[in-house]
Structure 1
């Protein structure tokens, strides 16, 4: 009997080792990854890359669910109110760290979510239409100063990274561009390419392809150093704003109350997905810097980002209707 039990135990151990850990953690149904921005935008593009690999790691399909609107608030609220069983995940962006300073939220960004992992960071690209009359930041700023409040900029929504990057640009260039908010980056890009809006601070995941394809003109990037993908495009720091630096980011969250084992399973899956060479290559091709850090490190990052942007909102008197 003892020998039989020992053999059975060894057999179960071998079987357990052969099945992915995620298969035990998520056996019942697909995981829903809510992206609170429109399909085709930067967050959506990177989410799909990461979600596919996470699904392979967890042994369960990860389905993208776009819930755009209100600068990411609508989608985030869906996740905040979801059953905390690990089957609903939020894939958000920079707006998450500032929305609390801009509007009354239906959720608590600190208390209702568990930060899981920072997926990637990237500079934004200040773009205009390919046939726009200005070819440099200096020309663009000069045009804005000639007609205060007339030159426009698009954003992926009030409070998003593209909105705040432009407001920091207004602050440091001492100009006043008129804000035209959209429900995501994809429609904003379409109207900038069509000339309906003058400019846009686009994240690299959605914008770089149109710059390299000749459909948009890049005037500058928001990082301290030039992008490898755009070596001839200067930084804003080089263009007369030495203190300018803005990085867009994407990260994963779970609803507060999710059990520690599910938190660990999702965190591990994100970290492994971002570490995968093919995923990293796709993110880098889109101009992003892969991260894939721990929940603790991501939480610390969020605290720094939130303090920084809350300060800008107060200084600029930014309001969201």
Structure 2
């Protein structure tokens, strides 16, 4: 009797497991939603839409981009917490995801509650000013800031984003006080800078077209070497600061997404990254593919959680401060 009960229980469990197995095998059989953290029209939107288009053709179902800006780039990751773990909702994971728990109370864990699929790229950052600004160089910028503490303002793509925090670290190292003005994305930020509402902007290279047209000037860039398109702009390292920031980002799925579905997503997006159309889209903003497998991306997330904690604490932005 006991043996028959065990056999019956095992058979019942197998029956309940069948839909999940079948679902993974047939995935995807409907469109996939990819939520990104910044508004339409900026570098993230343009490049991720091209990647999504490529991946959709590989998967045989469209990958539809949904913009969800704000909250330091963490809204897509938060959306995963209430999404079904079936692979049909995935999200961009910017570095802000690894900071949020240190500055705001959240009821989810950025490591345990996200299935990391693949890292795809990172940004090329820099600080820019209007072409008619009195700041011809970074030295001019620092000199004014020291003579006028707290009066020099700059904009970024949001509180606790990489442009914001990197600029604050830079200000600490330069011993200057700046006033931060957050925006939801590159488009709004550039409009404010060009309209004279702020004095400078820290951003990824959404500013590139305005520099090319002579409307903006680059004071510095944040990579480990000068940008090919802007060879006259020094890196922070060249200016004497031990700072390199490219803010890698990738794609995550809800916690509990099956390994089979994660692998299908990973394989499709990896192939999509290799398409010339995606590389060309990145090139418009001096971005390059930065590939990490699911395992490597998970390890990167764990390591970044620790390093971002140190930055938040150094800037005095941790909860309770």
| TM-score normalized by the length of structure 2 | 0.87
Residue 211 (structure 2) pairs with residue 211 (structure 1): yes
Residue 192 (structure 2) pairs with residue 191 (structure 1): yes
Using the TM superposition, give the Cα deviation of residue 39 of structure 1 relative to its aligned residue in structure 2, in angstroms: 1.6
Which string of whole-angstrom CA distances, capped at 9 and with x for unpartnered residues, describes residues 124-168 of structure 1?
111112221101111001111111111112121111111111111
Q: Give the 3-state SS of the residue equivalent to 1:117 in structure 2.
A: strand
Q: State the partner residue of 1:25.
A: 27
Q: State the partner residue of 2:234.
A: 234
Q: State the partner residue of 2:67.
A: 66
Which string of whole-angstrom CA distances, capped at 9 and with x for unpartnered residues, describes residues 257-287 of structure 1?
1111110111111111111222122212321
| TM-score normalized by the length of structure 1 | 0.87
Counterparts of 1:152 and 1:105, CA distance in 2: 30
Q: State the partner residue of 1:279.
A: 278
Within 5 Å, give how 1:223-262 maps onto structure 2.
223-241=223-241, 243-262=242-261
* Structure 2 gap ranges (5+): 1-23
Counterparts of 2:36 and 2:144, CA distance in 1: 36
Using the TM superposition, give the Cα deviation of residue 219 of structure 1 relative to its aligned residue in structure 2, in angstroms: 0.6
Report which stretch shifted further, 189-198 or 36-45: 36-45
Using the TM superposition, give the Cα deviation of residue 102 of structure 1 relative to its aligned residue in structure 2, in angstroms: 1.9
Q: Give the 3-state SS of the residue equivalent to 1:51 in structure 2.
A: helix
Counterparts of 1:157 and 1:320, CA distance in 2: 18
Q: Give the 3-state SS of the residue equivalent to 1:198 in structure 2.
A: coil
Within 5 Å, give how 1:32-43 maps onto structure 2.
32-43=33-44
Report which stretch shifted further, 81-90 or 277-286: 277-286
Residue 302 (structure 2) pairs with residue 292 (structure 1): no
Using the TM superposition, give the Cα deviation of residue 86 of structure 1 relative to its aligned residue in structure 2, in angstroms: 0.4
Counterparts of 2:98 and 2:145, CA distance in 1: 29
Counterparts of 2:317 and 2:214, CA distance in 1: 33
Using the TM superposition, give the Cα deviation of residue 43 of structure 1 relative to its aligned residue in structure 2, in angstroms: 2.0
Using the TM superposition, give the Cα deviation of residue 23 of structure 1 relative to its aligned residue in structure 2, in angstroms: 9.7
* Structure 1 gap ranges (5+): 1-21
Using the TM superposition, give the Cα deviation of residue 208 of structure 1 relative to its aligned residue in structure 2, in angstroms: 2.0
Query: CA RMSD of the aligned region, Å?
Result: 1.9
Which string of whole-angstrom CA distances, capped at 9 and with x for unpartnered residues, describes residues 45-76 of structure 1?
22112111011111111111111121123332
Q: Give the 3-state SS of the residue equivalent to 2:136 in structure 1.
A: coil
Counterparts of 1:39 and 1:320, CA distance in 2: 31
Equivalent pair of 2:124/2:285 in contact (CA under 8 Å): no
Q: Give the 3-state SS of the residue equivalent to 2:306 in structure 1.
A: helix
Report which stretch shifted further, 229-238 or 300-309: 300-309
Which string of whole-angstrom CA distances, capped at 9 and with x for unpartnered residues, describes residues 12-37 of structure 1?
xxxxxxxxxx994211x211111122
Using the TM superposition, give the Cα deviation of residue 319 of structure 1 relative to its aligned residue in structure 2, in angstroms: 5.5
Equivalent pair of 1:89/1:253 in contact (CA under 8 Å): yes
Q: State the partner residue of 1:77.
A: 78
Q: Give the 3-state SS of the residue equivalent to 1:148 in structure 2.
A: coil
